[in-house]
Amino acid sequence: MKKKIALTGHTRGIGKALSEMLSEKGHSITGFSSSNGFDIGEKEIRDQIISELDQYDIFINNAYHPDGQHLLLDSVINRWRNTDKLIINISSKMVYYPNTGFDDYIKAKKEQNKIIDKNLLSNKPKLLNIIVGAVDTDMAKIWISDKIDPKILAKFIYDMIEYQEILAIQEVVLDVPGLDWSEVKICQTP
């Protein structure tokens, strides 16, 4: 069954790959990005997004903002409480990588993970937290390492959406096979 999907950060990186993949598979995608007037750092914008979400089956929380991303996630969970809707949160393996200089980013992703963790006992709404290693996007240029192809990640997420009908997958950690993060180096700091 084709789904109506709301996606933040749909014009670059992971979000763009997801938007293209899900559209190709026949799903109806609505993108909310700063490039089309939806800066999730602004409370009024988050409220507008939330007010429109009742018409969607899936919300993908992808766009990064130091506070806006986790505030939006928490609000959507509360809005969709006691529904069969699916929320997919895109988090980062960087939360396990200390002393990178990206303290705001790490703090924000840790906050998202906490919100997901405190809601995992309920299956209404359905939650899927995807914690990814370095994905070949603009942001990942800081890492000297192999990176996940965003199109492959998008295909994986598409498969996880399809599996939600038969298996409740709540959290996954994805990375490049054989990558040892103790050997990963940062080539630039914030």
For the stretch 117-127, pLDDT in tens is 999 988 899 99
Contact 64, 112 (CB under 8 A): no
Give the pLDDT mean for 24-40. Answer: 95
- In this prediction, residue 164 carries a pLDDT of 85
- Counting residues of the chain whose pLDDT is more than 70, the rounded percentage is 95
Domain boundaries, the chain: 4-186
Residue type for 18, please?
Answer: L
Helices 13-24 and 150-163: angle between axes, nearest 10 degrees? 50
Strands 185-186 and 143-144: antiparallel
Cis peptide before 177 (omega within 30 of 0): no
Say whether pLDDT at 78 is over 90. Answer: yes
Superfamily of 4-186 according to CATH: NAD(P)-binding Rossmann-like Domain (3.40.50.720)
Lowest mean pLDDT among 65-69, 84-88, 132-136, 163-167: 132-136
Residues, the chain: 190
- Of 50, 55, 54, the closest CA to residue 38 belongs to 50
The residue behind tokens 């995608």 is 29
